[in-house]
Structure 1
Amino acid sequence: MSVQGELSSRKVAAGSSGTATETVVSKRAIDTNGNVFEVPDYTIKDILSAIPKECYKRDLWWSLHYVARDIAAIVTIGYVGTSYIPVWFPSSTLARAAAYMVQSYLIGLFGFGLWILAHECGHSAFSDSNLVNDTVGWVLHSWWMVPYFSWKFSHSKHHKATGHMTRDMVFIPYTQKEFLETRNKSKLSEVMEETPIATLLTLLAQQLGGLQLYLATNATGQPYPGVSKFFKSHYWPTSPVFDAKDFWYIILSDIGILATLTANYMWYRAYGAHVVLINWFLPWLWVNHWLVFVTFLQHTDPTMPHYDTNEWTFAKGAAATIDRDYGFVGQHIFHDIIETHVLHHYCSRIPFYNARKATSAIKDVMGKHYRYEGENMWRSLWKVARSCQFVEDNESKDGVYMFRNTNNIGTSPVSE
């Protein structure tokens, strides 16, 4: 339930006669855990002014060295695994299969690292050259079957409206009414909704197919009533997700996808399905998983608000994100996308290798509004999936929406 907060005061200049006290209302709400959430009251100018100027510097050669590093890692892992696993395990099919799974997993880690570098390109954080950014980004994203310009345009709109209930582009939460209507359409869903097995099945579907469903149908994005799922696709050049001027860029994105499919077909013809399976298809599934895993947990949490049009500002929306910790992999292979995501939403042009310093700077401005969760991210995934099913309708009167659930976890919805 949303609640009005206590009055706070601050002193403002009143000329030579002294100071006056300006009364400020801090809007508050109750989060899923039962704690008080206070709406941020600083401005985007406050944030950007705190970031050291050197953090904005983009170094093309330093960025390219990360691309070369990740590609070299993928090629080395693929070559060693494909060439030597049959030699190391000549008689054990099970051991060989397990080794191939490890090979695909490791390629997937560095594959997602390449995806993140393409994401940097889409934000113009890779280099000072738009041509370089778009060329590198198009190649890297296309290889992992993500339409580069389509993603770039919709992702840009996501950044411009993060946490906005009607303008954000991804992971738009159900309202309580929408959630119950969806659940009640299926008796099986109604019976299973609160069970852990239902949560597990939902997570498996989300992690394996969530990205492709989003790209193909705009699932978890804005609804666009009256437009069929196919025509909301990231592959459709006149999709309402895009502007009319984007038409040929969407076509170019689709050409990149077709080029990847063609390359993989030629690879299969030359070396067989097994080589493509362990060196591209299974790593591609891992890249899909990591992208949904990371993005979902950056924007969904029991402490996380969403806002309506009257309450939302860019500064509030960017604060509706959370930094998490994925250890060595997060920092050194995933290029700090997990650990510095709050900063990324305030200024996406800052390259990842300067993001930790910039994050330290904005923490001083954000104070208690900066979110960080250091627990194991797999544990967080389960907790978030169980506790963040929808946002409560009753909170719309105050413009602040907090997550609730039907699993008897944390604060109960008012209508229950």
Structure 2
Amino acid sequence: MTGVLTKPEASKSPKLDDDVRIKDILKTLPRDVFEKRPIKAWTTVFIDIALAAIGYLGLAIAPWYLLPVLWVFQGTVLTGWFVLGHDAGHRSFSNRKWVNDLVGHVMFLPLIYPFHGWRIQHNYHHKHTNKLEVDNAWDPYRPEAYQNLSALERGIYTAVRGRFWWVGSIGHWLVQHFNWNNFSGKQREQVRFSALFVIVAACIGFPLLISTTGIWGFVKFWLMPWMVYHFWMSTFTLVHHTLPEIQFQPAETWNEAQAQLCGTVHCSYPTWVEVLCHDINVHLPHHISSAIPWYNLRRAHRALKEHWGSYTIEREFSWSLMKQITDRCHLYDPNQCYRSFSEVRDR
């Protein structure tokens, strides 16, 4: 089933027929893209550990003028660690739940990221992708809601929707994943365990790092790679679902197939980023089914392009792309997808 592409309105993404469902798209994917390959998965874990060890060694012995390059390398490697934990969170790393939980906690540990808190919230994002006021990833405010914010809240929102987008994931990390009181039942216990796991690790690791290498060692070995990770995480997650033509839909008009296929951006990054970050930006198939392991995403993407290419949205990463997004994609507008802050202020 391919449906009929309707001509989009000005500045809006293509629209699927209303009768197209996720199951129709899934039927066009090869069955083997869902197969887990343990040797591939574990080999990648060990390679990533080796790359991180090389990065830390480099930071320890390199002259000061090479540190920025090594920070970018190490932060990108640790983003790859996060992607492996990301697969574990979707249960696409292993068939065994305890293995997924173990890998997720270990891969997230250097970033002091609570695994279960992230896993539960991220799966919620997949269930409600681009659903206005429900999705928890870069959900835009309506103009009236923005104007009713306090001055501090408005300032923070304006910054992370503008030129300071690259710190947006820090707020998401801090606010959403450590408060287990936002959860209930078994989920609450899981989130508490993950939060306390990284808190205890930080309480032991940070003083040890500072006592042996000083404050500068803390900055050099942890803080700067961590900031690079958040640059990538903020950038990736913003671009995954945000362009001037991609609209967040209210719950009453939201359509799952439309949101997952036409509301997801395939963005190409430099090859070294794609390799170190394990194809996390081959994002369309991941939203059609989060059960697809990272190493099968490109094959699944080719199948989606073959059967649904008229509906897919692709971009190449550039500073002009980020300028386009951060200049325009600020506040929800039902007619033109987004309105900028300046448009709202001028009215």
Provide the TM-score with structure 1 as the length reference: 0.74
Q: 2:313 aligns with which of 371, 382, 393?
A: 371
Cα deviations by residue, 1:124-154 (Å, 9 ceiling, x for unpaired): 1112221111101011112202110000001
Q: After TM superposition, list the pairs within 5 Å mapping 1:166-315 onto structure 2.
A: 166-182=133-149, 202-204=162-164, 206-208=165-167, 210-217=168-175, 233-239=176-182, 242-261=183-202, 262-315=204-257
Q: After TM superposition, list the pairs within 5 Å mapping 1:39-58 onto structure 2.
A: 39-41=15-17, 42-58=20-36
Shift of 1:407: 4.6
Cα deviations by residue, 1:19-73 (Å, 9 ceiling, x for unpaired): xxxxx9x88764xxx3454422222111111111111111222112112112211
Q: Give the direction of change, closer, same or farther, for the CA distance of 1:169–1:140 in structure 2 (3 Å limit).
A: same
Q: Secondary structure of the residue that 1:369 maps to in structure 2?
A: coil
CA RMSD of aligned residues (A): 2.7
CA contact (8 A) 2:12 2:246 kept: no
Q: Give the direction of change, closer, same or farther, for the CA distance of 1:201–1:347 in structure 2 (3 Å limit).
A: closer
Counterpart AA for 2:218: V
Give yes or no for the alignment of 1:152 onto 2:128. no
CA distance in structure 1 between the aligned counterparts of 2:307 and 2:142, rounded to whole angstroms: 31
Q: Give the direction of change, closer, same or farther, for the CA distance of 1:36–1:79 in structure 2 (3 Å limit).
A: closer
Larger Rg: 1
Cα deviations by residue, 1:91-132 (Å, 9 ceiling, x for unpaired): xxxxx2x32222222111101111111111101111222111
Q: Give the direction of change, closer, same or farther, for the CA distance of 1:237–1:28 in structure 2 (3 Å limit).
A: farther
Counterpart AA for 2:197: G
Percent identity between matched residues is: 22
Q: Give the direction of change, closer, same or farther, for the CA distance of 1:142–1:84 in structure 2 (3 Å limit).
A: closer
Q: Which residue of 2 aligns with 1:221?
A: none
Q: Secondary structure of the residue that 1:307 maps to in structure 2?
A: coil
CA contact (8 A) 2:12 2:247 kept: no
CA contact (8 A) 2:162 2:327 kept: no
Q: Which residue of 1 aligns with 2:332?
A: 391
Q: Which residue of 2 aligns with 1:163?
A: 130
CA distance in structure 2 between the aligned counterparts of 1:215 and 1:365, rounded to whole angstroms: 37
Cα deviations by residue, 1:156-201 (Å, 9 ceiling, x for unpaired): 010001011132122111112223444xx659x89xx9xxxx8799
Q: Which residue of 2 aligns with 1:381?
A: 322
Give yes or no for the alignment of 1:328 onto 2:271. yes
Between stretches 313-322 and 293-302, larger displacement belongs to 313-322
Q: Give the direction of change, closer, same or farther, for the CA distance of 1:109–1:349 in structure 2 (3 Å limit).
A: same
Q: After TM superposition, list the pairs within 5 Å mapping 1:59-98 onto structure 2.
A: 59-85=37-63, 96=64, 98=65
Q: Secondary structure of the residue that 2:337 maps to in structure 1?
A: strand
Q: Secondary structure of the residue that 2:27 maps to in structure 1?
A: helix
Q: 1:349 aligns with which of 291, 297, 321?
A: 291
CA distance in structure 2 between the aligned counterparts of 1:38 and 1:80, rounded to whole angstroms: 47
Counterpart AA for 1:131: W
| Higher normalized strand content (fraction of residues) | 1
Q: Secondary structure of the residue that 2:248 maps to in structure 1?
A: strand
Q: Give the direction of change, closer, same or farther, for the CA distance of 1:265–1:369 in structure 2 (3 Å limit).
A: same
Give yes or no for the alignment of 1:405 onto 2:325. no
Aligned residues: 338
CA contact (8 A) 2:114 2:177 kept: yes
Shift of 1:202: 4.1
Counterpart AA for 2:166: Q
CA contact (8 A) 2:143 2:331 kept: yes
CA distance in structure 1 between the aligned counterparts of 2:230 and 2:166, rounded to whole angstroms: 7
Q: Which residue of 2 aligns with 1:89?
A: none
Unaligned runs of 5+ residues in structure 2 are none
Q: Secondary structure of the residue that 1:324 maps to in structure 2?
A: strand
CA contact (8 A) 1:199 1:385 kept: no
